[in-house]
Chain A
Amino acid sequence: MSLRLSQGGRLIDRSKPVKFSFNGKALSGFAGDTLASALLASDHMLMGRSFKYHRPRGVVARGHEEPNALMNIGAGVFFEPNQRATVTPLREGLEAASQNHWPSLETDIGAVNGMLSRFLPAGFYYKTFIHPRPAWKHLFEPFIRQSAGLGKAPKEADGDQYEYLYQFCDVLVAGGGVAGLQAALRTGREGKRVLLLEQAAVWGGRAISDGDELDGQSAEAWVAQAVAELEAMANVTLCLNVVVSGVYDHGYVLAAQALPDHLPGGESPRERLWRIRTGKVIAAAGAIERPLSFAGNDIPGVMLAGAMRDYLADFGVVVGPRSVVVTNNDDAYRTAFALKAAGQAVPLIVDARPECDSPIIAAARAAGIEIAFGSAIAKVEGGKRVTGVQICAQNSAGSALREIACDAVAMSGGWSPAVHLFSQAGGKVIWDEASAFFRPDATRPPTGDDGVPFVSVVGAANGYLEAAQALADGAGEPVPDGVQAAIAAVWRMPAEAPAKLREKTWLDFQNDVKVSDVQLAAREGFESVEHAKRYTTLGMATDQGKLSNINGLAVLGDALGREIPQVGTTTFRPPYVPLTLGTVAGEARGPLFQPLRKTPMDAWHDSQGAYWEPVGHWRRPYCFLRGDETPEQAVAREVTNTRQNLGLLDASTLGKILVKGPDAGRFLDMLYTNMMSNLKPGRCRYGLMCSENGFLMDDGVVARIDEDTWLCHTTSGGADHVHGHMEDWLQTEWWDWQVYTANLTEQYAQIAVVGPQARAVLERLGGMDLSAEALPFMAWAEGELAGIPARVFRISFSGELSFEVAVPAGRGLELWQRLMDEGEALGVMPYGTEALHIMRAEKGFIMIGDETDGTVIPQDLGLNWAISKKKTDYMGKAAQARSHMTDPERWKLVGLETLDGSVLPDGAYAVGAGENAVGQRNMIGRVTSTYHSPTLSRGIAMGLVVHGPERMGEVLEFPQISGDVIKARIVSPVFFDPEGERLHG
């Protein structure tokens, strides 16, 4: 049984008990515990069920690399699945539940999958459950969904807060172990701005738990001294609990900061995503111990040797009183010493190597620990926990030579340098035959935009596993030779293990991939490591194969008869450890999810029943609801009232770009299809703007302010784009033209005063002569209305008598209020964007984004009148002369009137005779805008139709998905007041 010893545990505070629960059972640990250490201390070795076969699993590692002990943590809005118990700090009231069990952790029906494992081979998703088809939906899928998968998906929005932090430095040191501390000291002393980040809650990496001696001091003393020196340097910033998650081009680094003191729902964020720009990265991420591949290596109680040392040194926890150590290298011997020193029994060290010697082996002999060289574990005995091991010769087929009763197995298959950060940005790794691991290739590091390497690696991550080596490498000094005996590459234990053992030998604990699965994939022709990975799912779980990758590709190489370097590795991709979605989103949630642009009159609209719609990032009233009106009823009322009395539209969102300079006229002549340079001051002109490729991009009214100044109105969504477009051409192409632009969109509130009573209400406000003589159609004037400085543009997008009044944004609401007050007797009502759309459609005016979609040119829309024939050039002119643009078969704008008065569906297609190459009806046109016209009491639409303007009166057929056909007649797009008499009031 696993338990807490009466003493020891450098990270726990035995005076502070912490209560928590696991699967509903009340338990207790100490402050400083992780969830995993507290569970072990309570003899909870069984922590979850495996993904595919629902095998009982216990904790196998100490840190982020843990594949088994994944938990559902918390409840309700604070619920989160797949949390690694090994890095979850214990806190009062923590609720944890094991995952993937059904109905309970102890009794799991899914474990029957294990007995059926020969029917769940590698690639079984692709091989089975395909036929008969109905069985998939009703039998296989429900079963797989019930039995597979890891944690539960959260059902509620996350109740915690998250945020970003932008940081800048010269040198980012990732990892606060011995090598990382050394690297930070070295670069810090050089005066560089250093950021040192450590994923754990303490400094020193493995050195303190391992009891290393550094520069003649205890590791504890050395680390304390190093940290003190770093903290005293103003140019060095140190932070614990921050895991460096990804290294990208241009020195961009992402790291996630956990806040162990955060309480669920507390004031502070739960996690913080650091977005770092650094000159250089020094990766000091250490190494990750590998499991050994023997039968039953996943039974709870089998643990990585280094992890077992950690649980003892950090938390005073042992897995059981009798532990067998199995290894192919010297490092695991330390576990035997540590257990012995704590009074635990180590009946045997199983060393797969032929007899060899080194200081630590000699010490084990001197301590009287039995060592069995050239030996292997044939099989681990036990179900939900280890009860013993069978020992055999490594070079055998697994015939047991002896059996040893024990509670735990400490395994070490060697250590793999954590090369992830080096590899993510393009660094290459090389296979080190003698050490049996991939190490960073210092000759092929990631390089920056200047071709200079920007990521270097030190310490264990660089392949220097011994403390004295890490100390030297981190300091940039020559690295001494190690004192350990050579590792033996052991990829299968025993070497000639038969199928029945290989089928119980796990490579990837989290995805339940066995040695036999990888061998099967090789036999079935998956030769590339990338293909074999996807076929078997090896290394594709949330731990991304931190324990399994090297063992897996060694087995694959063996099956293919290739050396490991020829097999290669899969690609290391960020993030190093999973990031929760909340951390990635940062503050962007709820009201801060996206900016919502509001006009100066927004609050008034909101209080008067505005029914909102998004327009770009703006919110605009679609209509204003009165009483229990539906939006359709409100829109009809607003259209009718505007046509009969007086309507007000908040047009503040329209783009307003000032263009000034001696070359401004020439510039606008290039930007617009029609002539703007000959516009007289005081006058307005409607203009079209095309892209270089000739497509209609934006439209609006241009007013000439004075001799060298024009004000260009753009669409609401187009303001920023058009301003950028202007600056683009001015800065890169016509840089010698004397023109300045300014985007004044937000400086002005703009109100459209529309309808037969428009002039009357403005005259009531007083201050300007707005008579037809003083201010004719398409003119503008400046003055004061109701004491507010204003520009009044007499322009109309509705066909009615209409004035657009621009005032400083800060006084927009005041003007709006005055217009509502003075307009009351004249029947004023505000109207929204839908009434605006309907009124423009009744008049046949086009709308950017409805009649245009990026493929439409002004000529398609019958706007030739707005294209200057005098100008030698304008943006898009050359493109519009291309053969496809002048093709008479291009679809052209027409009006459409349904024969039965109904409303055509938006986007509906008209069909012609015959079929196209793929057997579809030939299409001859489509609807671009369609509305019910309250003015005409019938459906009206605009559309693009082949030879449309030449086919007036013809009836087109618009088949519906329902099978019905709607018939509509081609008519002029100007449905209402074709003579334009209403403009004059």
Chain B
Amino acid sequence: MAEHLHTEVTALEPCGMILLRGDLEAEWAPDLLSIMGYSLPEQRQVIQSEAGAALWFSPDELMLLCEAGSVAEAVVQMQSACREAQAHALVADISDARARFAISGPGARLTLSKLCPVDLSEAGFGPGHVRRTRIAQVACAFWMTGPESFELICFRSVSEYVEGLLRNAARSHMGLEML
């Protein structure tokens, strides 16, 4: 295989994940997000911090990532902030629902290009973008954590399948050196 297209696939430890559904343009939204140190990400964008990331999931849905240890308190704080603001929003701890993978190296883009129907050229997808899509036959989302590295999340029940897909796709990029 082309050595210079080497790709590393790593299963990551769980982290804190919070689902937020609500009117993200509402007056209360910035204050709610600031509890976790985030501002509102633009459409299909991710805002990254040292502790995690705020992922745009849909016009009324965000996924907020944090350290595993701080999720319980953050959820309580956000839920009570919603009550105080009389905000119609849904905040749920979903830290256990998903598995995480890191895909890194010069062949990372190619690896995902084999599994996800997404334009993974540098023009099509770069740092700051997040995409909810499918990986082969199941749902996933991914974003870039560095110039050649991606983080990908999928549902917990299919983590073995997704890990198998990623390792299989990363094996050889023969014949794709020109991409």
Q: Take A742-B90, A746-B98 as given contacts and tell me if A587 and B165 are in contact as well, using a CB distance cutoff of 8 Å.
A: yes
CB proximity to B under 8 Å, residues A740-772: 740-742, 744-748
| A746 near B136: Cβ-Cβ < 8 Å | no
Q: Which residues does chain B contribute within 8 Å of A747, judged by CB atoms?
A: 92-97
Flag if A267 contacts B169 (CB, 8 Å).
no
Given contacts A168-B124, A744-B94, A746-B157, contact A262 B19 (CB under 8 A): no
Q: What is the predominant secondary structure among interface residues of chain B facing chain A?
A: loop
Of the 9-residue stretches A158-166, A284-292, A490-498, which lies at the interface with chain B?
A158-166
B29-37, B47-55, B100-108, B109-117: which lies at the A interface? B109-117
- Answer yes or no: A818 CB below 8 A from chain B CBs: no
Residues of B within 8 A of A745 (CB): 97
Q: Does B85 contact A (CB under 8 A)?
A: no
- Name the interface residues of B14-43: CB closer than 8 Å to any CB of A: 14, 19, 21-22
Q: How far is the CA of A745 from the CA of B19 in the complex (A)?
A: 14
Question: Which chain A residue lies CB-closest to B124?
Answer: A168
Residue of A nearest to B133 (CB): A166
Judge if B158 is at the interface, Cβ distance under 8 Å. Answer: yes
Instruction: Decide if B67 is an interface residue (CB 8 Å cutoff).
Output: no
Would A165 and B94 be within 8 Å (CB), given that A272-B175, A588-B136 are in contact? no
Contact of A809 with B96 at beta-carbon distance under 8 Å, contacts A165-B114, A239-B178, A742-B21 already known: yes
The interface residues of chain B lying within 8 Å CB-to-CB of A238 are 178
Chain B's closest residue to A269 (CB) is B172
In the complex, what residues of A have CB within 8 A of residue B80's CB? none
- Shortest distance between the CB of A171 and any CB in chain B (Å): 14
- CB-CB < 8 A to B88: which residues of A? 661-662, 738, 740
Q: Which of A262, A272, A809: most chain B CB closer than 10 A?
A: A809
Interface size class of B (residues with CB under 8 A): 35 or more
Residues of chain A with a CB closer than 8 A to B137's CB? 588, 594-595
Task: Answer whether residue B11 sits at the interface, using C-beta atoms and an 8 A cutoff.
Answer: no
Judging by beta carbons under 8 Å apart, are A597 and B158 in contact? yes
Contact A810 B114 (CB under 8 A): no
Q: How many Å from the CB of A257 to the closest CB on chain B? A: 6
The yes or no answer to B121 lying at the interface (CB within 8 A) is yes
A347 at the interface (CB under 8 A from B): no
A241 to B110, CA, bound (A): 18
Min distance, Cβ B17 to any Cβ of chain A, angstroms: 9
A599 at the interface (CB under 8 A from B): yes
Contacts of B155 in A (CB 8 A): 597, 746
**Residue contact B161 to A592, C-beta cutoff 8 Å:** yes
Given the interface pairs A163-B114, A588-B136, A592-B164, the reply to whether A742 lies near B19 with Cβ below 8 Å is yes
Shortest CB-to-CB span from A787 to chain B, Å, is 14
Contact present for A193 and B123 (CB under 8 Å): yes
Known interface pairs A166-B116, A588-B136, A740-B90; A595-B175 also in contact (CB < 8 Å): no
Contacts of A269 in B (CB 8 A): 172, 174
B161 to chain A: which residues have CB within 8 Å?
A: 591-592, 595-596
Contact residues in B for A617 (Cβ distance below 8 Å) = 158
**Among candidates A165, A592, A597, residue contacting B176 with C-beta atoms closer than 8 Å:** A165
Contacting residues of chain A (203-253) with chain B, CB-CB under 8 angstroms: 237-239, 241
CA gap between A409 and B34 in the complex, in Å: 82
Interface flag for A700 (CB, 8 Å): no
Interface residues of B in 56-113 (CB under 8 A from A): 60, 88-90, 92-98, 110, 113
CB-based contact A744/B97 at 8 Å: yes
* Distance between B151 CB and nearest chain A CB, rounded to angstroms: 18
Contact between chains at B117 and A166 (CB < 8 Å):
yes
Residue B118 at the A interface, CB < 8 A? yes
A268 within 8 A of B: yes
Question: Which residues of the other chain, B, contact A268 by a CB distance below 8 angstroms?
Answer: 1, 171-172, 174-175
Residue A261 lies at the interface, judged by CB distance under 8 Å to chain B: yes
- The smallest beta-carbon distance between A730 and chain B, in angstroms, is 11
Cβ–Cβ contact B19 & A267, under 8 A = no
> Is there an interface contact between B119 and A592, defined as CB atoms closer than 8 Å?
no
Considering only residues 870-929 of chain A, those with a C-beta below 8 Å from chain B are none
Q: How far is the CA of A594 from the CA of B161 in the complex (A)?
A: 8
Q: Can you offer 16 A-B residue contacts whose CB atoms are under 8 A?
A: A164-B114, A166-B113, A166-B118, A167-B179, A267-B172, A277-B119, A594-B137, A595-B136, A660-B90, A738-B88, A740-B60, A740-B89, A746-B156, A747-B95, A747-B96, A810-B96
Interface residues of A (CB under 8 A from B): 161, 163-168, 193, 237-239, 241, 257, 259, 261-262, 267-269, 272, 275, 277, 587-588, 591-592, 594-600, 617-618, 658, 660-662, 738, 740-742, 744-748, 808-811
